[in-house]
Structure 1
Amino acid sequence: MRPLLLPLVPGRRSAPLARMLLVLAALAGALQAGGCAYKDIDKRSFVVAMGVDRSDDPARPLRVTLKIAIPTADIKSGENRFLLLSADGRLIAEAVHRLQGMNENAFDFSHTKLIFIGRDLAEARPLRETLDWFIRMETIQGIALVALAEPSAEAALRVSPPMERLPSNSLFTALDGSGTLSPYITHAYLFDVVRRLYEPGLDPILPLVEAAGKKAFRIERSGLFDKSRLRLVLSPEETEWLNFLRGETANVDFVFGRDRLYFQADPNRARTRLAVESRGRTLRLVVDVELYGSIDERQKETAALPAITRAIEADVKTRTESLLRRLQEAGVDPLGLGLRAAARGLAAGDPEAVIRSLDFTVRTHIVVYETGNVLR
């Protein structure tokens, strides 16, 4: 027998059931209305990288460039397709809104992995103001890479190496360390840059990407900031040594012109230790450097291993003290020495002022050995 279906008649028993059905109908309508805002994948343009430069228009001082990946069915080496869109604005948000009128699809920033800041803009505008829009955008990931660009962010975004399969993939793998392990490349993520901007006694450091035409790039220098602007650009040798002191690399080398010696440190046996100590009324930074390495190549047989070891020890002390003096003069603290002092209760007042008042002591432990079956 078929069950008997009774109509809902307003009454004492059917009233709760009727109210429940009305609530369910309202929820279903709300969910259906909210789903109308969803964009299909073919209606979205994926922004893989962004750049911010100074513009030539005083009324709109910022120039924003978006690098949009163009999907292809067959990915081939050297045939990556992308679109660059640029617009000027008083704010980054205004420029992005202007760019929306140049593209038929909605911008999707969930795949934005790289943020370029032009060197000219970094010297003229506070870094906090430049990164404010990126911090507030919930669709931009905190692990996005941040870098300086020269001559401009737009020029760096145009770089497309011949072997590249995906837009800006070569820059991604170089800057995040998943590809090359160059000691000259500094790794800077958005979340860490923001932390350094707001943490007393710790300042931001960004890699500097130089565009060499449209087919190549060079990354071997870095830019140091205080809590506001770009204050110092390091040479390749200084960048390498700063990365070593920060613990980002162990691949350091030494070249001595007099004896034409080349020293390569073993990456598994190279380390550094930084300690801020109180000596009366002054603070002293003690740097311990330990290196074990081999002589990969040399052109003369005159120098013995003890003499080579002494030369390397002197070079380590010179490099370290010279770099620390430059940081003091510029008033930047990428090593977090002020934060270290504050953690031990040694920073009397402002941790930002610790870097300017430090004395230095460099202690070394160097071991050099020959390689292979070469007899000396």
Structure 2
Amino acid sequence: MEAKKGEGYFMNKVVMTLLLLLCCIFLASCSFKDIDKRFFVIAMGIDWTGKKDKPYLVTLRLAIPASKVGEGLAESQIEATESTSIAEAVRSLKSHVDKELDFGHCRVFLFGDQLVKTSLDESLNWLSRRRDVQLISYLAVAEPDANQLLKANPTTERLAGNAFFLTFGKEGTVSPFIVTEYLFDSFRRFKETGLDPYLPVIAFDGDSYVVERLALLNKQKERLVLSPPETSLYNLSANAFKRSGIAINYKGERLAFYVSRASRSVTISRETIPTVKLELNVGGMVEQSPITVRGKNLAEIQKLLEADVNQSTLKLLYKIRDAGVDPYGFGLHYLAQYFGSEEDWKHWKSVYPSVKFEVNTHVKIESTGLVR
């Protein structure tokens, strides 16, 4: 009796083993490819050609590993093709290289100037669906187009694509003219009610990349490009960006004020035509002044700095309002402040072209610098 039980147990084990082996037949094999069989995409550009059959020009900058690292030694390969869609262009580019394209290290996506003026819907749709695209990637507008910009080779670049990372990641330069935009924030701005997107504008001057302007968009395309001074002022008033500067004329001479501390607050009145009140608190030091700054003229300089920021910011706010965009997110702030319903949002949209602004700046000169 015990022998029969033992035989039955053995047969059950055999049957289970055979079933497990049979299941293994239907398992897919691993598609992992070694690093030497991959091409790492470090930057991607998308341009609008205007052609009916092939409206998109997709450009990829591929990193080439090098044994030496140094200025001007960064090596990369450029591949580009035109296609009906971005996905088809990327699939077509796979036939141009001998390795698998890997977007896991792609941290920069550039949109051509004409594409931004047309529509970014398809580009963002493709980026949102790719599982290997990082949400912390940088976005920018390329002038004159992404293809030419990616072909440019900065003389100081030590690693392929490193100039982009140092510029937008603030690991290298930190400038008030550079407004960094991430992919995850763009997804939010293109979908969020009462908040509009923006993109920094990047160009090439023959030696290096230049980022000093900002493109403002509605939910589809570009509506306004800010000048360098306006970009710096937007960065200060919208992002409370430190390390910026304010310059005024004082007694016939140019005085420069360095901002080392900044904060902001916004309140919106609930009237038929709302008033947006923006309050800025700025602190810093006199960075340059041909005239000796003493206690008796300190208060006068502070008032002049405050008046200059108030006037410049008001002019910028009305310019942005008249362009029909809201990168500050005043509409979102209005809805949050008054627990806005759908009717409140409709009201805000109807009155936004007539919204009034008030700017109140407080400047504190904390140091006059070292005078020898």
Alignment TM-score > 0.5, same fold: yes
- Structure 1 residues 271-292: Cα deviation after superposition (integer angstroms, max 9, x where no partner): 22122222x3231111111122
Q: For 1:295, give the aligned amino acid.
A: V
Q: Does 1:115 align with 2:100?
A: no
Conserved? CA contact 1:176–1:187, under 8 Å: yes
Query: Aligned match of 1:290 in 270, 281, 287?
Result: 281
Equivalent residue runs for 1:42-61 within 5 Å = 42-55=36-49, 57-61=51-55
SS in 1 for 2:98: coil
Other-structure match for 1:25: 21
Tell me whether 58-67 or 69-78 shows the greater mean CA deviation. Answer: 69-78
Distance 2:77 2:197 in 1: 31
Query: Aligned match of 1:360 in 357, 360, 364?
Result: 357
Distance 1:28 1:83 in 2: 41
Query: Aligned match of 2:345 in 345, 349, 357?
Result: 349
- Structure 1 residues 196-246: Cα deviation after superposition (integer angstroms, max 9, x where no partner): 000010111111001113x31110001001011100000011111111122
Distance 1:76 1:98 in 2: 33
Q: For 2:29, give the aligned amino acid.
A: G
- Structure 1 residues 16-74: Cα deviation after superposition (integer angstroms, max 9, x where no partner): 3123212332454455x412x22222221111110011226432111000000011233
Relative to structure 1, the CA distance from residue 53 to residue 373 in structure 2 (aligned partners, 3 Å threshold; closer, same or farther) is closer
Q: TM-score of the superposition, structure 2-length normalised?
A: 0.90
Cα deviation, residue 90, structure 1: 1.4
Q: For 2:302, give the aligned amino acid.
A: T
Relative to structure 1, the CA distance from residue 260 to residue 58 in structure 2 (aligned partners, 3 Å threshold; closer, same or farther) is farther
Query: Aligned match of 1:216 in 201, 208, 221?
Result: 208
Q: Does 1:263 align with 2:256?
A: yes
Relative to structure 1, the CA distance from residue 318 to residue 75 in structure 2 (aligned partners, 3 Å threshold; closer, same or farther) is same
Other-structure match for 1:86: 80
Other-structure match for 2:90: 96
Q: For 1:366, give the aligned amino acid.
A: V
Q: For 2:69, give the aligned amino acid.
A: I
Distance 1:20 1:285 in 2: 73
Query: Aligned match of 1:326 in 319, 326, 330?
Result: 319
Other-structure match for 1:246: 238
- Structure 1 residues 177-203: Cα deviation after superposition (integer angstroms, max 9, x where no partner): 222110110111111101100001011
Q: For 1:17, give the aligned amino acid.
A: K
Provide the aligned C-alpha RMSD in A.
2.5
SS in 2 for 1:139: coil
SS in 2 for 1:53: strand
Conserved? CA contact 1:200–1:352, under 8 Å: no
Distance 1:235 1:26 in 2: 68
Q: Does 1:173 align with 2:170?
A: no
SS in 2 for 1:182: coil
Q: Does 1:281 align with 2:260?
A: no
Cα deviation, residue 346, structure 1: 6.5
Distance 2:349 2:85 in 1: 29
Other-structure match for 1:3: none
Q: TM-score of the superposition, structure 1-length normalised?
A: 0.89
SS in 2 for 1:363: strand
Cα deviation, residue 261, structure 1: 2.8
Other-structure match for 2:227: 235
Equivalent residue runs for 1:107-186 within 5 Å = 107-124=101-118, 126-186=119-179
Q: Does 1:34 align with 2:57?
A: no
Cα deviation, residue 169, structure 1: 0.5
Cα deviation, residue 161, structure 1: 2.1
SS in 2 for 1:13: helix
SS in 1 for 2:219: coil
Distance 1:234 1:353 in 2: 25
Equivalent residues, number: 363
Distance 2:225 2:370 in 1: 42
SS in 2 for 1:160: coil
Conserved? CA contact 1:253–1:262, under 8 Å: no
Conserved? CA contact 1:48–1:68, under 8 Å: yes
Distance 1:154 1:355 in 2: 38
SS in 2 for 1:60: coil
Distance 2:77 2:349 in 1: 43
